[in-house]
């Protein structure tokens, strides 16, 4: 088929122009006689690719020199252990906010290294909202406060940056990074698996305030030691070079779209259209507190679960792909990251309207 609209939560759709450039450069990057994936990571050509990507990322996200940017491997899930191993220092406890499945995974891994204090949880209400910060029980001696600004599976997103007091604030931004402006200076550490808003899987980007480096526990694997990775410009060993290159192409594309501010406006519009349509049609429902609905991941249900298969089949036939919800929650989910064009959201809405009319 021609290019479909791919609503997968990750690995996710990439800008078509990025893929075209990657295709055109596959056998010979700018006259070097080789593909980027064949280049020594220490070659001038790759170092230029890597440094340009970091510079563009810093510019897009507004990251000051107080922070190191690391291009690591192992996905966000590896960071679930890397974070306590590096940030606990002499402390023994960390604060975590529980707003869904990804929060819980981060918590479960941290519990293997630290005493975890659950500052707040929306579990009792089925993770459909964000706990009111006035109720949070922040610890006095936590090494850091961890939260998940956007829950990819639940489709719930913070519209504020929590106050972590004197403890550094740590955020899993895998599914929200670069989707709207964020004040990075409020954070001690931000991490993001690449396969949603940055590039292909196999890369995780870490933004860490430099004063937090150098505190890794003795048992930390060297490849997980932020200080080591920072000291070597993310090239202590061979990094995921091709993923890094593709991330760089995505950053260039984002800049051409007007950057994160312009992207945020488009994303707001895409989300408002889709939620607006759902709210206006009894046939569809979204369970999330409207204030905290994710701009990136839009879960929804049909009036009758028995129609799910027919809905997905019809969607597939129109090239609207991967709309099934996560196996842990069921229903539908449309992930509408940066690279999902507004026309894709329009096509989805049109299909949903027709399906509801036929079957509702």
Residues that bind its own copies (CB under 8 A): 1-4, 6, 8-14, 16, 19-20, 22-23, 26-28, 31-35, 37-41, 43, 73-78, 80-82, 85, 109, 112-113, 193, 195, 199-203, 218-219, 221-224, 236-243, 246, 319, 321-322
Our CB check for its own copies shows the closer of 220 and 301 to be 220
286 is in an annotated binding site: no
**Which of these, 143, 198, 190, 184, lies nearest to 165 by C-alpha position?**
143
How far, in Å, CA of 213 to CA of 208, rounded? 8
| DSSP notation for 297-337 | EEEEEES-GGGHHHHHHHHHHTTEE--BPPTTT-SEEEE--
**Residue 330 Cβ vs its own copies, minimum distance, rounded to whole Å:** 15
297 is in an annotated binding site: no
Our CB check for its own copies shows the closer of 195 and 227 to be 195
237 is in an annotated binding site: yes
**Residue 328 Cβ vs its own copies, minimum distance, rounded to whole Å:** 12
**Residue 19 Cβ vs its own copies, minimum distance, rounded to whole Å:** 5
Our CB check for its own copies shows the closer of 10 and 248 to be 10
| Residue 319 region by backbone torsions, left for phi larger than 0, else alpha for psi between -120 and 50, else beta | left
Our CB check for its own copies shows the closer of 41 and 58 to be 41
How many H-runs (helices) and E-runs (strands) does the chain carry?
9, 14
**Residue 360 Cβ vs its own copies, minimum distance, rounded to whole Å:** 28
Helix (H, G, I), strand (E, B) or coil at 135: helix
Active site includes 102? yes
**Residue 326 Cβ vs its own copies, minimum distance, rounded to whole Å:** 10
Say which of 102, 244, 253, 295 is annotated catalytic: 102
CB count within 10 Å of CB 282 equals: 10
Residue 341 near residue 272, CB atoms below 8 Å:
no
Our CB check for its own copies shows the closer of 126 and 221 to be 221
Torsion of Cα atoms, 281 then 312 then 148 then 57, to 10°? -110
How far, in Å, CA of 185 to CA of 160, rounded? 14
Say which of 29, 56, 95, 172 is annotated catalytic: 172
Helix (H, G, I), strand (E, B) or coil at 231: helix
346 is in an annotated binding site: no
| Residues involved in catalysis | 102, 172, 196
Residue list, annotated binding site for L-glutamate: 42
Please state the residue numbers annotated as binding site for pyridoxal 5'-phosphate.
Answer: 76-77, 102, 152, 172, 195, 237-238
């Amino acid at each position: 088929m021609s290019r479909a609209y791919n609503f997968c939560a990750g690995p996710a759709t990439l800008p078509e122009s990025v893929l075209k450039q990657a295709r055109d450069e596959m056998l010979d990057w700018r006259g070097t006689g080789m593909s980027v994936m064949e280049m020594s990571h220490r070659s001038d050509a790759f170092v230029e690719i890597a440094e340009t990507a970091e510079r563009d990322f810093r510019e897009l996200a507004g990251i000051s020199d107080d922070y190191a940017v690391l291009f690591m491997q192992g996905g966000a899930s590896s960071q679930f252990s890397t974070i306590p191993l590096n940030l606990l220092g002499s402390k023994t406890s960390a604060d975590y906010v529980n707003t869904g499945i990804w929060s819980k995974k981060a918590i479960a891994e941290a519990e293997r290294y630290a005493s975890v204090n659950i500052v707040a949880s929306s579990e009792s209400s089925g993770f459909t909202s964000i706990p009111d910060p006035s109720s949070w029980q922040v610890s006095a001696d936590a090494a850091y406060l961890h939260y998940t600004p956007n829950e990819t599976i639940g489709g719930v997103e913070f519209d504020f940056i929590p106050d972590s007091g004197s403890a550094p604030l740590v955020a899993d931004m895998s599914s929200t990074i670069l989707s709207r402006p964020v004040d990075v200076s409020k954070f001690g550490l931000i991490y993001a698996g690449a396969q949603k808003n940055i590039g292909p899987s196999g890369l995780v980007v870490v933004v860490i305030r430099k004063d937090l480096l150098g505190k890794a526990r003795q048992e930390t694997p060297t490849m997980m030691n932020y200080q080591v990775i920072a000291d070597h410009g993310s090239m202590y060993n061979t990094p995921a070079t091709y993923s890094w290159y593709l991330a760089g192409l995505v950053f260039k594309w984002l800049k051409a779209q007007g950057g994160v501010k312009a992207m945020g406006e488009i994303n707001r519009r895409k989300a408002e259209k889709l939620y607006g349509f759902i709210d206006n049609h009894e046939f569809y429902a979204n369970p999330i507190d409207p204030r905290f609905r994710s701009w990136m991941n839009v879960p929804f249900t049909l009036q009758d679960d028995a129609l799910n298969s027919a809905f997905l089949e019809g969607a597939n036939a129109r090239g609207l792909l991967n709309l099934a919800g996560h196996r842990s929650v069921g229903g539908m989910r449309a992930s509408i990251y940066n690279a999902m064009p507004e026309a894709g959201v329009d096509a989805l809405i049109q299909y949903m309207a027709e399906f509801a009319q036929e079957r509702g």
